[in-house]
Amino acid sequence: MSLLRLDHVSRRFGGLVATDDVSLEIPGQGISAVIGPNGAGKTTLFNVISGFLAPSAGKVIFDGQDITGRPPEAIARLGLVRTFQLVQLFDDLTVLENVKVGFHMQTQGGLLSALLPGLASRHEEQMVEERARDLLRQTGLADQAGTMAAVLPYGKKRLLEITRALAAKPKLLLLDEPAAGLNKQETEALAALLRGIAAAGTAILLIEHDMSLVMSVTDQIAVLDFGRLIARGTPDEVRANKDVIAAYLGTQSEAAHA
C-alpha cells in the first residue's frame, strides 16, 4: 500500500499551471524521486504535499488520511517532514539545539516545565539531549554540537537540516534538492546516509537535479515536465524513456532551432 497518494493534483498561479493533474503513489519504504528540468513544477508539488501551498484541485492522501489543504504543522504531526531547497536552519541556535527542536512533536514541555526544569521535564530533556547527540553521531556532526548553526560550512548545514528532520521521526522524509551545492565527496556521503535512513525504515521522497545521486540511490523515479507527469519507473526505465530524454535535452525540432 502506498504511504502518499496524489489524486489528480493541480496548482495554478494565475494563468500558469505549475502542477497539472498529477497522480502519483509513493510507497512506505525505499527512496523515491521526482525529477524534471528547471521550472517543471517540482518544488510547487513539494509545497502542495507538505501543506505550504493548497492545491487548486485534487487530493493529497497521506497514511490513509486526506491532508489536502491542512497546515504544514498538522501534516508534520502525521509524520511527513520536509527540508528546503534553500537550507532553513535556526541560525541563533547551536547545532545540538537545532536537532533538539526536531524533537518538538515528541515532547510536551510548556511554560511550567520551562520555569521548573528540575521538577517537570528533567527526564524529557535528558532523553532529548541523548537522542539528539546520537543522531549527530550518526550523521557525523557530533564534533560541531556546540557550534552556532549560522557558522557551519554549507555542506554541514545541509546535513544538519536532514539530521533535524530525522529527529522528528518522519514516516516519509521529503528532501528538496539535498545535494544542491555539495561537492562530489559530500554527495557520495549523502547517498550513503540516505541509503542508511531508508534501510532503517524511513521512506524518502526527494527532488533532485543531481542525476548521479538520483540514479544511484532511488528505487523509483517520477518525471515532471511543465507540471505534468511524463514518466515513471525504475532509474533504468526512466533513463531509456524517450519523453524524458526529450524533456531534458529538447526535442529534435527544438534542437534544430538551437
| Chain contacts with other proteins (rule: CB under 8 A) | 50, 52, 71-73, 76-77, 81-84, 88-93, 97, 100-105, 107-111, 113-118, 121, 124-125, 128, 149, 161, 164-165, 168
Number of other residues whose CB lies within 10 A of the CB of residue 200: 9
Least CB distance from residue 83 to other proteins, whole Å? Answer: 8
Nearer to other proteins, 34 or 223 (CB): 34
Write out the three cell numbers for 30: 525505499
- Provide the 10 A C-beta neighbour count for residue 113: 17
Q: For the chain, how are helix, strand and coil distributed in percent, rounded to 5?
A: 45, 25, 30
* DSSP label of 148: B
Which residue, 165 or 230, has its beta carbon nearer to other proteins? 165
| Closest distance to other proteins from the beta carbon of 134 (Å) | 18
Judged by beta carbon, residue 76 or residue 247, the one nearer other proteins is 76
Contact 165, 81 (CB under 8 A): yes
* Cβ 171 vs Cβ 1: under 8 Å: no
Identity of the residue, 166 or 222, whose beta carbon is nearer to other proteins in the bound complex: 166
Cβ 110 to other proteins shortest distance, Å: 6
CB-side exposure of 215: number of CA atoms within 13 Å? Answer: 8
User: What's the min distance (Å) between Cβ of 239 and other proteins?
Assistant: 32
C-alpha cell at 187: 554527495
CB of 77 to other proteins, least distance (A): 5
- The smaller minimum CB distance to other proteins, of residues 159 and 247, is found at 159
Q: Alpha helices, DSSP H only, in the chain?
A: 42-49, 72-77, 95-102, 111-115, 122-139, 154-167, 184-199, 211-217, 235-240, 242-249, 252-257
Q: Which is nearer to other proteins, 73 or 254 (CB)?
A: 73
Nearest distance in Å: CB 97, other proteins: 6
